Amino acid sequence: MDLASIIGIVVAVVIVFAVQILEGGNPASIILIPSMLLVFGGAFMAAMAGGVMKDAIGIGKLFQKALLAKVAPPTKLVDEVVKLAERARREGLLALEDAVKTVEHPFLKRGLQLAIDGTDPEELHDILHAEIGAKKKADKAGKKIFENMGGYAPTVGIIGTVMGLVHVLENLDKPESLGHSIAAAFVATLWGVLSANLIFLPMAARLDRLTGIEVDEMELVIDGVLAIQAGSNPRLVAQKLRSLLPPDAAAAAEAAASNKKAA
């Protein structure tokens, strides 16, 4: 599990409350349930109104994915594909039928099964790339709802502040409570800006980043499966796939391969 989002959000919120304390304020003064309900509920409903019900219903899973998604090192996938290429080169493509059952990566599993079933390489390429395109569209829709919430939250916060100031003006005959009421009115704006910039927009960016990582893995899988289907030399398969990795990951993979040979 990659903890970047959890650490980023928690520490950012802690910093906000720490600054409130350092400035002599009371952290409890900015935890106002009506303001938070208006901002979070209003932003979510506004985002729902701008999309479809399917996106709104799936927001819980998207939030969970953004916070708890596992980001496996790409070298692990390369090693798995190379091992499959070695077995296919040694025993034949049909020998991978049993190995497919133990493959955990779902996209790799589907690609190998298509190859084993005798799918034409061009058709295999088109089918798998079509799946990548469908994933990009689905993930874009999921990311959009968080982007919309990030856009609506500050404005909803301002609405809450205006409502609070209207309440203040209704009670000008009670000067002893004006200071507290005015401060409470601006809490809605605080939560609107805070939620947008520390929660909703970071979640959208996180989902976009995860999509990029997953698509890169899928592209790597396509090249690997096509190479296995063509009966390419496993060493060439390894070199080709490592060339698709980021420079640091490629260097690590080369070092690991060298150490393995030396051993």
**Does 180 score more than 90 pLDDT?**
no
The whole-model pTM stands at 0.85
At 23 the three-state DSSP class reads coil
Tokens for 47, please give them: 């985002």
Residue appearing with tokens 């507290």: 180
What is the percent of the chain where pLDDT is above 90?
53
Q: What is the pLDDT of residue 175?
A: 77
| DSSP tag of 261 | H
Instruction: Kindly list the domain boundaries of the chain, sorted by start residue.
Output: 4-74+123-262
| 133-156 residues labelled b (16+ CB within 10 A) or e (exposed) | eeeeeebeebbbbbbbbbbbbbbb
HSE-up (13 A, CA, CB side) for residue 219? 13
- Quote the Cα angle for 145-39-3, to 5°: 60
| Cα–Cα dist 52/61, whole Å | 16
If pLDDT is split at 50, 70 and 90, which confidence band does 51 have? Answer: confident
Strands (E), 163-260: none
